[in-house]
Amino acid sequence: MELVQAAIAGDRRAIARLITLIESEIKEAPAILAEIYPYTGRAYVIGITGAPGSGKSTLVNQLAKSYCDLGRRVGVIAVDATSPFSGGAILGDRVRMRDLGQYPGVFVRSMASRGNLGGLARTTPAVVKVLDAAGYDLILVETVGTGQLEVEIARTAHTVLVVEMPGTGDEIQSIKAGVLEIADVVVVNKSDRDGAERTAAILEAMLSTRERWAGSGLVYSDHSGALLPRLAKYLGGEKSSMTEETSWRPRVVRTVATRGEGIADLLCAIEQHRQHLLTTREWEERNRLRLLSEIEQVLRRRLMERLLHQVELDHLAEVVNSVLARRLDPYAAAEQLLCG
Ligand SMILES: Nc1nc2c(ncn2[C@@H]2O[C@H](COP(=O)(O)OP(=O)(O)O)[C@@H](O)[C@H]2O)c(=O)[nH]1
Ligand SMILES: [Mg+2]
């Protein structure tokens, strides 16, 4: 496809159009991704998650500029919440990210989550691939930041930053949301406010006691992960090849994103994590789990589509009526639908 080749060659308009096609999940999307896939696997993906207002977008701005100054090509994907009422995405982030547009080496894209839970849009991993194939060697992905458990980013990124603000133990969002589990680097942003030092100390203490094994966040037992943990175990061998000495201990970094303070430290922590992944088996393990998780998600969707395609509507209505009339329970109903 001409458009795909143009995007791979780095044509910004082609990249933008390709992303739009993939986002709208046109029926050619699988063929497009198949063409792109051989060109992927070169980018380093950094995920940025954390509660709304914690400063994710401001940090992403700073990181993008810093990497750009270092001569890197940077792709930015900001996932917005889609309001179930308006269907529109939040404008604030888009405005905030606009000044990145002046940087020729930076490509910025907003995506609406379209009701997908887990902090990303369903097509975000595919969009990451487009930017990867187009030669962006660093890709920053900002999650929606609903304050809920956003673990999908751990399956997409090589390094996950969890952004916090100064607060007491009770107020620290990532502890409440359990999202600390997936953090590779914890950022205490807004460190110009009181209590940043104490917050950093609380987080350090939390992180030193958390149970760890390579890629724990990746096989987090969310509602969907039945196949993934089993296969991961089978393919990856024992639960952990990491000993205490070789496993990564998440770093805590304080920043003031609005003033660019602490950004150099943050870059350093990200680089240390990257080096850690590369020098241990974790790099390989994470890649395996990431791809496995992607296959599983496509499989899940395809199986459901196939099932819905096969079931006769008459039959479905009949089964539902039986459940309503208490002649059949929901489990038996599902079984009947599966067996046709
Ligand atoms: N005081 C202070 N404000 C900040 C800092 N970083 C971001 N902000 C402000 O916090 C608000 C939310 O930032 P934003 O980046 O949109 O947060 P997001 O919702 O997590 O993406 C904005 O008004 C920023 O200007 C910081 O380090 N210190
Ligand atoms: Mg934001």
HEC sequence for the chain: CHHHHHHHCCCHHHHHHHHHHHHCCCCCHHHHHHHHHHHCCCCEEEEEEECCCCCHHHHHHHHHHHHHHCCCCEEEEEEECECCCCCCECHHHHHHHHHHHHCCCEEEEEEECCCCCCCCCCCHHHHHHHHHHCCCCEEEEECCCCCCCCCHHHHCCCEEEEEECCCCCCCCHHHHCCHHHHCCEEEECCCCCCCHHHHHHHHHHHHHHCCCCCCHHHHCCCCCCCHHHHHHHHHHCCCCCCCCCCCCCCEEEECEHHHCECHHHHHHHHHHHHHHHHHCCHHHHHHHHHHHHHHHHHHHHHHHHHHHHHCCHHHHHHHHHHHHCCCCCHHHHHHHHHHC
Q: Say how many Å lie between the CA of residue 253 and the centre of ligand 1.
A: 16
Residue among 258, 263, 265 whose CB has most ligand 1 atoms within 8 A, to mutate: 258
pLDDT in tens, the chain (340 residues): 899 999 999 999 999 999 999 998 888 999 999 999 999 999 999 999 988 889 999 999 999 999 999 999 999 999 887 654 444 445 555 556 667 878 889 999 988 887 777 788 888 999 999 999 999 999 999 988 765 667 788 888 999 999 999 987 777 777 776 788 889 999 999 999 999 999 999 999 888 876 554 344 444 444 344 555 666 666 655 444 445 556 788 999 999 999 999 999 999 999 999 999 999 888 888 888 788 888 888 888 888 888 888 888 899 999 999 999 999 999 999 999 888 7
* Closest Cα to atom 19 of ligand 1: 53
| pLDDT score of 159 | 94
Instruction: State if residue 95 touches ligand 1 by the CB under 6 angstroms criterion.
Output: no
| pLDDT score of 87 | 43
Q: Which residues contact 338 (CB under 8 A, 6 or more apart)?
A: 307
Which whole-number Å values give the CA distances from 314 to 255, 264, 296, 305, 333, in the listed order? 60, 63, 30, 18, 14
Instruction: State if residue 113 touches ligand 1 by the CB under 6 angstroms criterion.
Output: no
| pLDDT score of 89 | 46
| pLDDT score of 92 | 52
| pLDDT score of 244 | 52
Residue among 114, 180, 172, 118 at smallest CA distance from 143: 118
Q: How far apart (Å, rounded) are the C-alpha atoms in residues 92 and 56? A: 12
Buried b (16+ CB within 10 A) or exposed e, 189-220: bbbeeebbeebbebbeebbeeeebebbbbbbb
Side by side, which strands form the sheet with 74-80? 106-112, 74-80, 138-142, 44-50, 159-164, 185-188, 251-254
| pLDDT score of 221 | 41
Q: Say how many Å lie between the CA of residue 332 and the centre of ligand 1.
A: 51
Which whole-number Å values give the CA distances from 44 to 32, 131, 175, 248, in the listed order? 22, 11, 27, 18
| pLDDT score of 301 | 84
Question: The pTM is what?
Answer: 0.86
CB atoms within 10 A of CB 138: 22
Return the CATH number of the domain spanning residue range 41-212+248-280: 3.40.50.300
| pLDDT score of 140 | 97
- Tell me how many degrees the CA angle 217-219-223 measures, rounded to the nearest 5: 105
| pLDDT score of 114 | 77
159 CA to centre of own chain: 10
Task: Report which ligand 1 atom has the smallest distance to the Cα of 59.
Answer: 15
Which whole-number Å values give the CA distances from 3 to 39, 76, 111, 126, 336, in the listed order? 15, 21, 20, 16, 45
- Domain span(s) for CATH 3.40.50.300 in the chain: 41-212+248-280
Q: Which ligand is nearest to the CA of 63?
A: 1
Q: Say how many Å lie between the CA of residue 278 and the centre of ligand 2.
A: 30
